[in-house]
Structure 1
């Protein structure tokens, strides 16, 4: 028997039959931010950053060039055309102090004390002009789209052509290893391995995990699935991943084969294909699904409704190279039947489309754990496990008495399970303390186990009407006649 400490939840196989928890979905995105735009970016590398609105880009930088991959979720959550929803948490892995070019020099023409440099890769704190001092003799700002550097003279010394020296971001050293990250000898974490910092530093529990631009890579994907479980040895999240959308994966059949070959089959993820286009920007469907999920969960205060069949403001589906790809409802059904989510157009609007986890395949669904069929049922169970641990953490290290056991049962039943059942968000929910499953030897060690059974997150996946023609109406022609 292993040593136990604290409060824990083990999610077991489903039973088969013939504080403030309102922020149930905190998306955590891991990738690249243009922090080189900031005056000081030292604490913006491999540390979680909370973003509540587009105005918060002073914490992160922003560029319309989405090679800085975390600019996409910033825009998708806070500048989209249909709804603004947050907060989100970003973990940036780009370090401008190491990912930089050699110094360059260019002549910049200053007019009325203002000079401009085109290019969104210039590292702000490397800009030098003669012996002038940045932020004393001149200031540097980036344009809103992150594509132009504006230098303003503060000392009345800049006029005409002036030599400006600077270094630029070099992304050649950024790869899947950078995104995956590591735990250094001093204990410092980076990349996906920095996910525990979201709770330890922000007191926020990750709800969704995304790595847009990198989750289609096998090793990144696998690390995401591993990292989503037992975060800080307690919390359970859910991953949104993407399949490749290059020329080699340019059809529905190729996408299905790719998913199978790579083993994107976890019950704690939804895999998405292809990408979406709107007004000159290409989005990962995983990111758009995250926006929808957070919106739906925020309204429900519970993750019981899947983020599927929800309107998203896009113009078409595309591949990496912006080439159109046509996916109709028949194609989408084929993708959904093997656990791939996509988007379809219905009644003039584009909608997210897919309710299954990546573990689902129709051909094997009879033999799988029924909980693992649907995203919403998996997320309901994981969310309730997080709630249980948070709610009763203060019971740990208290003196044992019968009242503690009864209070845990009564509080969780009344405040959580019964509440969600009464609101129609759970179909069933009970918590029990079974003495035959808590032997005296365990209780002497201070270890106690509660059994929680829930039914929730089930989905109306299809509705069928049997419509037939009948001659009965002919008789009505003659009712009341001679």
Structure 2
């Protein structure tokens, strides 16, 4: 030991670790966005935490049939005031194109003319006429004219002093444009390209945590989730995020096929939507003339419920059922109104389908069951708030205890894990986030061969509250109260 003369102090690491809690409801949407408006990214996860940030990253259009990512941006940030979300846009301007258009003559009006929003600004070629039939040389962007995306169009504006001399000139224009209709389920599902060595679509799920240190736990693909293959991939990916974490996929029933509540049940069975990791929803929803997929509204409502300090307290312990949706009606895709009474809504719930109900207190989400119900009646699978709590606790435990991996397997390590997590579980119990929970290191679950191999098994006992889906009140005539007549 080195010679020392004096007083000194040092710090020893605390044996009790502060748990790291996972975010309960970060949405991941894979779909299409008008990203060409802002030179946005294609097949790359983008993390956004506000409406402005999302629009700057992906562009925006109210044409949600073409651009379903915009529906999620509007719903999450404007209607439900929550976030962040993770976006994967698969609409590729280098791949999904209409093909070069025929040359078209267009006349300026007040120095302005409009091209479709899908037109690619860097593919626009503009010429004029020196005589009635003779074309000029190509005009230069930034010198003779400018292009900007605005008001759902690509607007061309004449620049004063440039070669276009009249506000009413006839221009000869050629351009290419993106075509969202050419995006297929194969693009949404994604995969790995051995030539580019890049992943795409839902195959990018496992890149999100390493890149942003967040776990996406609610998967969306509004315009494509009704496809059974897409739904199956979404469910599989949600069940194993980075091989460790778990989430849920919200699947929309195809309302062009399922036009009644009984047909919705038939559609579910035909498409085999029966996994605990799937939330199945029907029909579509409206607000102020806008038509929404139920999936984006439910995702927003779940996040809002989780964040509510009196309900979820930052956890998924509370069901979003019987909570207010931001809607004024329910419809099929063709606009046909859907009216459900309690009996019909409950029938859908009994078959593992979440729906809407306008009964008491306005339109609410109605249903607590995942798609595995009624074939699977394990409460940790079929009540989605209970299932999400198990997933959230599991995700949080992994994040909290990861730093202890590869430490020496000694009594102090075991004690630290047990004490840290028991303190955390006791706190959740005190907040009534769970009814009770504990962690134990049991000798019978840790054979010598596993301990020799560096494998330690911890057992967490956990009871989240079930939703009070049925309140039964018995009324009885009590004749004893007749005696009050003689008092």
Q: Once the two structures are superposed, what CA deviation does each residue of 1:258-310 show, in whole Å capped at 9, x if it has no partner?
A: 11222111111210001111112111111101001111112221110011111
Judged with a 3 Å threshold, the aligned counterparts in structure 2 of structure 1 residues 85 and 172 are, in CA distance, closer, same or farther, namely closer
Of the candidates 437, 445, 459, which is equivalent to residue 437 of structure 1? 445
Query: How big is the shift at 1:164?
Result: 2.9
Q: Distance in 1 between matches of 2:420 and 2:180?
A: 52
Q: Distance in 2 between matches of 1:20 and 1:433?
A: 21
Q: TM-score, normalised by structure 2?
A: 0.87
Judged with a 3 Å threshold, the aligned counterparts in structure 2 of structure 1 residues 373 and 164 are, in CA distance, closer, same or farther, namely same
* 3-state SS in 2 of match to 1:287: helix
Of the candidates 400, 413, 420, which is equivalent to residue 422 of structure 2? 413
Query: How big is the shift at 1:439?
Result: 2.3
**Counterpart in 2 of 1:106?**
104
Q: TM-score, normalised by structure 1?
A: 0.88
Q: Distance in 2 between matches of 1:155 and 1:399?
A: 75
* 3-state SS in 2 of match to 1:271: strand
* 3-state SS in 2 of match to 1:79: helix
**Counterpart in 2 of 1:70?**
69
**Counterpart in 1 of 2:463?**
455
Is 1:220 aligned to 2:233, yes or no?
Answer: no
- The answer as to whether partners of 1:122 and 1:166 remain within 8 angstroms in 2 is yes
**Counterpart in 2 of 1:245?**
255
**Counterpart in 1 of 2:288?**
279
Aligned length: 447
Judged with a 3 Å threshold, the aligned counterparts in structure 2 of structure 1 residues 50 and 132 are, in CA distance, closer, same or farther, namely farther
Of the candidates 49, 52, 59, which is equivalent to residue 52 of structure 1? 49
* 3-state SS in 1 of match to 2:336: coil
Judged with a 3 Å threshold, the aligned counterparts in structure 2 of structure 1 residues 440 and 138 are, in CA distance, closer, same or farther, namely farther
* 3-state SS in 1 of match to 2:251: strand
Provide the aligned C-alpha RMSD in A: 2.0
Of the candidates 153, 157, 161, which is equivalent to residue 152 of structure 1? 157
* Greater alpha carbon shift after TM alignment, 461-470 vs 338-347: 461-470
**Counterpart in 1 of 2:216?**
206
Is 1:428 aligned to 2:436, yes or no?
Answer: yes
**Counterpart in 1 of 2:134?**
none
Q: Distance in 1 between matches of 2:126 and 2:230?
A: 41
Unaligned runs of 5+ in 2: 1-18, 128-137
* Greater alpha carbon shift after TM alignment, 444-453 vs 26-35: 444-453
Query: How big is the shift at 1:254?
Result: 0.9
Q: Distance in 2 between matches of 1:226 and 1:77?
A: 24
Q: Distance in 2 between matches of 1:404 and 1:292?
A: 40
* 3-state SS in 2 of match to 1:419: helix
**Which of 1 and 2 has greater Rg?**
2
**Counterpart in 2 of 1:371?**
380
* Greater alpha carbon shift after TM alignment, 304-313 vs 428-437: 428-437
Judged with a 3 Å threshold, the aligned counterparts in structure 2 of structure 1 residues 445 and 155 are, in CA distance, closer, same or farther, namely farther
Q: Distance in 2 between matches of 1:68 and 1:286?
A: 15
Q: Structure 1: which 4+ aligned runs deviate by more than 6 Å?
A: none
Q: Distance in 2 between matches of 1:425 and 1:141?
A: 50
* 3-state SS in 2 of match to 1:310: coil
